[in-house]
């Protein structure tokens, strides 16, 4: 059982009212960003080729910029001197590893075969999505849900290390070995370990180092009160600006594939919806059962439900081609994940009433919590 003192969490309305207008209307901005991206991708000739002309590793430069801008402010908010308490919480670490590397891939494999038995390309694409654990957007969802920021940083780092060493091995297991044991058709796929490593180093390593240096230098120069009370509220909105920019670019790149095959999108969306609901729900239930408290439980749930869509898309395109069904399944991933996880932020805030503690801190105007 949790040893956290029992306090009444603030009402959901108080949390939401403390958010900036950008945060409160985030679902609206995300829908608008998705629509703008789709329209641009359909109407501007050659835009997708132009956006994809320059790449960092296997990800287009505009998406890479958006992801870095999105992650840097969140990682600048992390109190790195408090991460030791997270690494000492074996319940949280073991639960996260189990949800991310046992439940997540196994669940996506089962859903893909149960719901897409006649569509092998989409099925393979979804299995790849299930193997790509989230290292980027989960930090945004966790922050909006008042999760434990230090726990999120630690879990994302741990999952990133596991991703480098486990992605290819699990891909081989779920695409070739396990189907063979079950008498199902197998898929041959070679994954580039370097591409996976580069994705982790760029999209986690760069903003993590920048965030750590920003906090260290800022606190040393001006003190923690100034850093968290003045600097972070000004920096915070850039995380959501980066998120919205990334969504526009992503859907501009893949808008034609999405809008030209609506029925295929629906077929792919169904197992994804079930997957997000189960993994998020499992994280919330397990966290409460372990007595982790609300903040760590929210972090556990979001790190379990989120996926590294940029890696999944890059792997699918690099392995099977840009026009493949596997690539389309990867593209549909964020189309479903982004609005669903925004909705789960509100579900998480509502679920605080079932915990004896509230969020670790209150939101501050100017973009997410300070």
Against a cut of 0.75, is the pTM above it? yes
* Backbone angles phi and psi of 46, in degrees to 5: 80, 0
Between CA 355 and CA 22 the distance in angstroms is 28
Which stretch, 165-179, 220-234, 275-289, has highest mean pLDDT? 275-289
Residue 56, beta-bridge partner list: 59
What's the alpha-carbon Rg for the chain, to the nearest Å? 20
Between CA 239 and CA 44 the distance in angstroms is 27
Between CA 115 and CA 223 the distance in angstroms is 55
Give me the pLDDT at residue 368, please: 44
In contact, 357 and 10? CB cutoff 8 Å: no
In contact, 78 and 153? CB cutoff 8 Å: yes
Share of the chain above pLDDT 70, in %: 84
The distance of Cα 22 from the centroid of its chain, to the nearest Å, equals: 19
The residue among 22 and 45 whose pLDDT is bigger is 45
Length of the chain: 370
The residue among 287 and 28 whose pLDDT is bigger is 287
In contact, 242 and 70? CB cutoff 8 Å: yes
Query: Is pLDDT of 62 > 60?
Result: yes
The residue among 60 and 88 whose pLDDT is bigger is 88
- E-state strands within the chain: 55-56, 59-60
pLDDT digits (tens, 9 = 90+) for 282-334: 999 999 999 999 999 999 999 999 887 767 877 777 677 666 788 888 878 87
DSSP state of 23: H
pLDDT digits (tens, 9 = 90+) for 239-266: 888 888 888 887 787 677 677 778 888 9
**Residue 215: which of 241, 237, 235, 239 has the closest Cα?**
235
Between CA 15 and CA 180 the distance in angstroms is 50
* C-alpha to C-alpha distances, 298 to 128, 147, 179, 304, 358, nearest whole angstrom: 25, 5, 33, 10, 11
In contact, 336 and 136? CB cutoff 8 Å: no
CB atoms within 10 A of CB 139: 30
* Backbone angles phi and psi of 60, in degrees to 5: -60, 150
In contact, 206 and 169? CB cutoff 8 Å: no
In contact, 68 and 238? CB cutoff 8 Å: no
Between CA 204 and CA 202 the distance in angstroms is 6
Q: What six digits make up the tokens of 44?
A: 């501007």
pLDDT digits (tens, 9 = 90+) for 112-133: 999 999 999 999 999 999 998 8
Between CA 298 and CA 236 the distance in angstroms is 20
Q: How does residue 109 score in pLDDT terms, banded at 50, 70 and 90?
A: very high
CB atoms within 10 A of CB 194: 11
Between CA 285 and CA 301 the distance in angstroms is 9
Q: How does residue 158 score in pLDDT terms, banded at 50, 70 and 90?
A: confident
């Amino acid at each position: 059982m949790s040893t956290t003192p029992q306090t009444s969490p603030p009402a959901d309305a108080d949390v939401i009212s403390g958010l900036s207008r950008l945060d409160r209307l985030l679902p609206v901005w995300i829908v608008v960003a998705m629509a703008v991206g789709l329209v641009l991708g359909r109407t501007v000739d050659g835009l997708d080729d132009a956006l994809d002309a320059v790449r960092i590793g296997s990800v287009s430069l505009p998406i890479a910029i958006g992801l870095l801008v999105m992650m840097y402010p969140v990682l600048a908010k992390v109190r790195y001197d408090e991460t030791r308490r997270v690494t000492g919480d074996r319940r949280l670490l073991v639960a996260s590893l189990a949800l991310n590397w046992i439940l997540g891939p196994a669940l996506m494999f089962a859903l893909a075969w149960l719901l897409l038995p006649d569509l092998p390309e989409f099925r393979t694409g979804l299995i790849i999505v299930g193997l790509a654990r989230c290292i980027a957007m989960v930090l945004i969802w966790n922050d909006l849900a008042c999760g434990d920021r230090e726990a999120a940083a630690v879990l994302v780092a741990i999952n990133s290390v596991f991703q480098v060493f486990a992605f290819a091995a699990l891909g081989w297991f779920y695409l070739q070995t396990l189907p063979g044991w079950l008498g199902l058709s197998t898929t041959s796929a070679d994954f580039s370990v370097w591409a996976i490593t580069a994705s982790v180093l760029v999209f986690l390593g760069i903003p993590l180092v920048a965030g750590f240096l920003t906090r260290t230098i800022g606190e040393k120069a001006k003190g923690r009160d100034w850093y968290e009370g003045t600097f972070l509220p000004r920096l915070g909105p850039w995380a959501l600006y980066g998120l919205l920019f990334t969504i526009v670019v992503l859907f501009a790149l893949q808008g034609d594939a999405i809008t030209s095959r609506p029925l295929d999108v629906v077929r792919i969306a169904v197992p994804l919806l079930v997957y997000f609901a189960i993994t998020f729900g499992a994280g919330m239930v397990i966290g409460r059962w372990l007595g982790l408290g609300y903040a760590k439980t929210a972090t556990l749930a979001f790190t379990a439900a989120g996926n590294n869509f940029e890696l999944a898309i890059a792997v699918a395109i690099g392995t099977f081609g840009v026009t493949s069904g596997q690539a389309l399944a990867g593209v549909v991933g964020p189309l479903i994940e982004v609005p669903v996880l925004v909705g789960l932020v509100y579900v998480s805030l509502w679920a605080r009433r079932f915990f004896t503690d509230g969020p670790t801190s209150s939101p501050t105007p100017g973009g997410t919590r300070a």
